[in-house]
Chain A
Amino acid sequence: MEMTEASLRAVALAVAHLADPEIPVISLGELGILRDIRTGADGVPEVVITPTYSGCPAMGQIEDDIVAALRAAGLPGRVVTQLSPAWTTDWMSEAAKEKLRAYGIAPPQCGSQPASATGVLQFSRHAAKPVDVPCPQCGSHHTTQTAPFGSTACKALYRCLDCLEPFDYFKPY
């Protein structure tokens, strides 16, 4: 089958509205999971996705959602998972971060994961103190980490010491 720019655009359009199953306010594209839409070697369109965390249980759901969206639109296509380059929260757009905040999840504070491999030894305890995370509810910087792992692998649990609300923090990855 001859794939044209137009048919790839149709595929892109069909999957554009799909959101992360855990965070329904941001799209797969905004989250940085959707990496590419291309024509495979056999001419079939491929939707390329990359996992967030290795064990993220949402990946199966995301793949199913894409396949279902293509089928509903009557389009051919398959999902290809690609590991490299590894997903990072740096790919999240500012608009996506704002949506996260409005949804009640503090967006990742970039740069708090060491960017390079040489940072590994330094990333033991001292350099890894929880960063200053503003409360998504009231904006206060007077917050504290309750637990380094929260409701999903990608989040930590925080608490605001001013408005006293607990909230999720999307960890830098």
Chain B
Amino acid sequence: MKAPVDYLFHLADSALVLGQRNAEWCGHGPILEEDLALANNSLDLIGQARLLYQHAADQINGDAALAQRFAHLQGARQDGRVTEDTLAYFRDTAEFRNHTLMELPHHGPLVGYAVSERDYAVTIARNFLVSALMVLVWDRLQSSRDAQLAGIAAKSLKEVRYHLQHASDWLVRFGDGTEESHLRAQAAVDHLLPFCEAFWQPGPAERAAAQDGTGVDITTLREPWNLLVNETLAEATLTRHDQPHQGYVAQGHVGVHSEHLGFLLAEMQSLARAHPTAVW
């Protein structure tokens, strides 16, 4: 039994895009230790994405209908077969199924042509909200009916626990720190929390996977996630202003992205696309 490839894309794209985002801190970390922490964090996420893309590629190569559906992806093939690199580097923005939350830049909302420096509070708050979700998701996926996905989940769970620990520690330090750090942490949480509403509105692939037992019914994780998030926010003296959710629900996981993903992919994919047969 195999999980639907679109569900694997959802998991893989979320890991890859967040890994790519966090890697922007590489060489620019606020302190050396955090530079290393974020790079390691990205390494884990990109490693998870690789395993998921390889699993998806195996299915695509082994199924004529799927092979036909992805025939337009011609780059980084090996002996005509789709590889992890084909899926990471040659799909376009609208084909990505990551949550919008993962692609947002490391700062709050801006207007017009305004620009901003990266804000580490946004980085930490996002890693915290995402890791809190993923410990729950990977834990559940350990019993996926897709044995390969269950294997990936068991590994990823061990990694994301360290991510959650790291992000929680810093969120508490920021929230319960100085007046300035508190303000920035609160602003980051206020900015990002509404994007988390998308977690609880699964797309067709997530619903199909939950249905056939290869995925998880994400809506059942909402309460445990709230518990986890609220406990740490309270310790960080931060307040939630997102309940009840009002307004637009982000749609990245069904392929409707913010303006930020295109720029991120352009940077990530340009080298591979300029040299589609390159090997490294």
Contacts and interface: CB of A to CB of B under 8 A. Distances in A.
B33 A87 contact: no
B161 A86 contact: no
Contacts of B43: 53, 55-57, 153
A127 to B, nearest CB: 9
Interface in A147-172: 147-153, 157, 171
B44 A53 contact: yes
B232 A85 contact: no
A51 B168 CA distance: 27
A93 interface: no
B231 interface: yes
A146 B33 CA distance: 8
Contacts of B164: 123-124
Given A53-B47, A54-B44, A83-B51, A173 B228 contact: no
Contacts of B232: 124-125
Interface in A42-80: 51, 53-57
B37 to A, nearest CB: 4
Contacts of A150: 36
Interface residues of B, number: 45
Contacts of B41: 149
Nearest to B136: A120
Contacts of B159: 53-54, 153
> Chain B CB within 10 Å — which of A53, A113, A150 has the most?
A53
A23 interface: no
Contacts of B135: 120, 123
A12 to B, nearest CB: 25
Nearest to B172: A125
Contact of B47 (A54, A147, A149): A54
Majority SS at the chain A contact face? loop
A153 B40 contact: yes
Interface in A2-60: 51, 53-57
A173 B150 CA distance: 17
Contact of B151 (A84, A146, A151): A84
A128 interface: yes
A149 B40 contact: yes
A156 B132 CA distance: 21
B227 interface: yes
A95 interface: no
Interface of A: 51, 53-57, 83-88, 113-114, 117, 120-121, 123-125, 128, 146-153, 157, 171, 173
8 contacts: A55-B47, A55-B48, A84-B147, A124-B228, A125-B165, A128-B165, A149-B40, A150-B36
